[in-house]
Amino acid sequence: MPFIIAIDGPAASGKGTIARALAAHFGFHHLDTGLLYRATGAKGGDPVLAAQTLDAGDLARSDLRSAQAGQAASRVATIPEVRAALVDFQRRFATREPGAVLDGRDIGTVICPDAAIKLYVTASDQVRAARRAAELGADPAQMLAELQERDRRDSERATAPLKPADDAVVLDTSDLTIAEAIARAIAQVDRARA
């Protein structure tokens, strides 16, 4: 049975960086599930049809890391039919041998509730806004407002809201370097594998 690592958390918390590092460290497959929603939102048109017809080319678009794609992802993720269309894809991916790391907002609570280890990666709003502003070359105050709006929408949605799983290990990266955050995550996974 594959070893599944579920990583959830808000935007710019460091979950993607940690997920990629864990996948590389343990030789597991990695899926940034946010890309599925970003690609669905970026396709435009009917979001349900967009989710149902996603292909590899859609996930390779160069604009998926933009703030606009992030906001579009948050909007389409509130649509239950979009979420349902993408759940099977994510669950199938999670069963890949020898293991998989999935990061998103509802991996530990909805997609893989039986994951061997669940991490909820977070950071303060100000730290996350500064990180995202540096990444995108944007204004930190504007990024703070956008992140807070997205967090509110993601946390309040009726279907699969953003929240830590009851058995998730919370990892606050506000005051950690990337190397420190990765080391702590590896230690948590090592404990779960022991």
The CA distance from 114 to 55, in Å, is 27
Non-local (6+) Cβ contacts of 153 within 8 A are 74, 75, 78
Closest by CA position to 17, among listed 192, 188, 193, 183: 183
Binding-site entries for ATP = 9-17
Binding-site entries = 9-17
Q: Is the Cα dihedral 66, 155, 105, 51 positive or negative?
A: negative
Cis peptide before 140 (omega within 30 of 0): no
The CA distance from 36 to 73, in Å, is 8
- Mapped onto helix, strand or coil, the DSSP state of residue 7 is strand
Buried b (16+ CB within 10 A) or exposed e, 126-140: ebbbbbbbeeeeeee
Give me the helices (H) in the chain, please. 15-26, 33-43, 47-52, 56-59, 67-76, 80-94, 125-136, 140-156, 178-193
